[in-house]
Amino acid sequence: MQSYISRSPNGDHIERAIAALLLLVREQFGLEVVFLGEALEGRRYFRQISAASEPCVIEVGQSQPLEETLCQRILEGRAARLIIDVTSQRQALDLPPVYDGLGTHVGVPVYLASGRLYGFLCGFSFQRLEGISQRDIKRLEVAARTAARLIDEASQ
């Protein structure tokens, strides 16, 4: 399923801007992967990904049922926006086995100007990253608002 960003007349420009934003977040936080995911019809679709190495464990266009994702648990308040060691909390969070081996995860929802949930800006590393703090989550929220403005621009 194609994102409406790529169908927008200025979609290339917006996709490049979002790619630069994801790269910045990944490098600043020291994460292995950062992605923009869209919540659509009960699923989370990976729309853009910045990965430190190839091949990446996730691919643009892949999707999963929302109820199986850490993103959904963050949205519902059942999981923190910053988890230093996902593997140690996987069972408590009732996450599927695909989350085994995951170290640090950060994630925030992305809301459009209309108030509609677009999806999520998330990142992860297979290592525990002790240096990430709640202050970084505030920076991630700013990045999510920037992504939302770009997505809104694409829909006009």
For 128-145, b/e burial (b = at least 16 CB within 10 A) is: bbeebeeebbeebeebbe
pLDDT digit string (tens) for 93-133? 999 998 989 999 999 999 999 999 999 999 999 999 999 99
Rounded to an integer, what distance in angstroms lies between the CA atom of residue 145 and that of residue 136? Answer: 14
Q: List the domain range (segments joined by +) for residue 94.
A: 4-154
What CATH number is attached to the domain comprising 13? 3.30.450.40
- C-alpha angle with apex 107: 145 to 25, nearest 5 degrees? 65
The total of structural domains in the chain comes to 1
Beta bridge partners of 66: none
The mean pLDDT values, 10 residues at a time, for the chain of 156 residues are 51 88 97 97 96 91 95 95 95 91 96 96 96 96 97 84
Residue 33 confidence (pLDDT): 97
- pTM value? 0.91
Residue 9 confidence (pLDDT): 54
